[in-house]
Amino acid sequence: MIIRTATLDDSSDLEAIFVHAVTTLAPEYYTPEQVQAWATTPQDSDRFQHWLQDGRVWVAQEGDRLLGFVGLMDDGLVSALFVHGDYGRQGIGSRLLSTAITWAQQQHLLNLRAEASELSRPLFAKFGFHTDATETVTRGGVVFHRALMSYTMPPAELDAASVPGD
């Protein structure tokens, strides 16, 4: 498996990963109505395409198949972290999040943040993100709760090695 920078050509594969992850992994944490509303998010707007153009996105790839992706905005927001449902809980999300943190270290970003779902919150916590608050959001008329999490870069980590895919 390699981690590389995403391109616009990856857009449809990333949407498919997003939908598959939400529909197969999220039902453990969310109601059927919440899963349906969440899974239709990229199809309801062009936000997904803009996010891919405006942020820094890495993909996990094995052969010609994309397994997952992570996005990081220049302001330190981890904007997405999704792994295809068939490959969940195999360490791919950890590799992707580690890549984003390493890039942030290289950019001397001292603080990262995430708007974590119940599905991703444990992974962020494993990496040292702390829950600062919980907020309520509405998607497609359906209410969700998510954790607002933050991470402060340890000073010793600001001299990290290069990020894969760059």
Stated pTM of the model? 0.86
Structure token pair of residue 84: 């295809």
- Rounded average pLDDT over 83-96: 93
Which domains, from first to last, does the chain contain?
Answer: 2-159 (3.40.630.30)
What radius of gyration do the chain's Cα atoms show? 15
Which of 17-31, 44-58, 81-95, 113-127 comes out lowest in average pLDDT?
Answer: 44-58
Structure token pair of residue 37: 């509303």
CA dist 92 and 95 (Å) reads 5
Instruction: Compute CA distances 157 → 15, 109, 138, 141, 160, whole Å.
Output: 32, 11, 36, 42, 6
3-state class of 90 per DSSP?
coil
